[in-house]
Structure 1
Amino acid sequence: MPSTSFVGSLSSPKVDVYVDTGNPLLNHTVDAFLKIGTVAAAKTVAEETYHVVRRGSVSKHNLEDALKKMCKEGAYWGAVAGVYVGMEYGIERVRGTRDWKNAMIGGALTGALVSAVSSSKGDKIITDAITGGAIATAAEFINYLT
């Protein structure tokens, strides 16, 4: 029985923008802000494009709203990523070692901080800290496997 196969590899283009502030902590934080903020803005573009296609029309008001959402989402997720990366880097410097525990502590502190800033109280802050630590730790382990 004849069979066919595909041999090759797929890769996405890699674009790196590096901003040198003269401080490694700020360099990491700005890098995370830019990368994750861009991802959040791109996600919003995709969602808004879907809504425009679904509606079948676009207006100036729709475009303005989409731009506002892009900026808001990009700034929010970029700030969260910047805080997380800054926390993780700071913890790495304080502990003097680079391991998964830095991700766990950085994620927990970021989860608690973001939760507290968004007017959460008590148990919600603790739950968000646990969630942040768990997600960051899982991401670190997944990154280690790849």
Structure 2
Amino acid sequence: MAWVRVSGPPRVEVAIDMGNPFLNLTVDAFLRIGTIAATRAGAEDTYHIIQKRNISSHDFEKTLKKMCKEGVYWGTVAGFYVGTEYGVERIRGTRDWKNAMIGGAVTGAVVSAVSNNKKDKIAIDAITGAAIATAAEFINYLT
């Protein structure tokens, strides 16, 4: 007997067990957000190609490279954030919004530092990362 989901969007469930909760969460975040970023990049380039009304193999190759680059970049950022938040949770022994804030701050600072930004920009990006992660945690709590 097969079950069919009648309402809601279709879902694809994939489980990859790395043998460690930290690795499981990090890889899951990388794959989910990386897929979303790659899809967005592909959709954006497809729109531009349709606007040009001309499709070439160069356009296809450029789109594919952009999808891979965006997917890896945002997947890495998401994996780093989730891994950091999980690590903070394990260290603190508490699951609350502060873990998201710390994880966001560390992720924002690291991504900014890797991008060769100056100290002021790194601090601003850390604050921004903390604010976004904390806001997302509170919104997630409300729903």
Band of TM-score, shorter chain:
over 0.9
Q: Map 1:17-96 onto structure 2 (within 5 A).
A: 17-96=14-93
- When normalised by structure 2's length, the TM-score is 0.94
* Unmatched segments (≥5 aa) in structure 1: 1-8
Stretches of structure 2 that go unaligned for 5 or more consecutive residues are 1-5
Question: Structure 1: how far apart are the matches of 2:110 and 2:11?
Answer: 32
Secondary structure of 1:129's aligned partner:
helix
When the two structures are superposed, what TM-score results if normalisation uses the length of structure 1?
Answer: 0.92
Identity of aligned residues (%): 68
Which position in structure 2 is the counterpart of 1:120?
117
Q: Which runs of 4+ in 1 moved over 2 A?
A: none
Amino acid at match of 2:123: I
Distance 1:113 1:39 in 2: 22
Any idea what the Cα deviations from partners look like across 1:67-119, whole Å, max 9, x if unmatched? 00000000000000000000000000000010100000000000000000000
Number of corresponding residues? 138
Q: 1:124 & 1:109 partners in 2: Cα distance?
A: 13
Considering only aligned residues, what root-mean-square deviation do their CA atoms show, in Å?
1.1
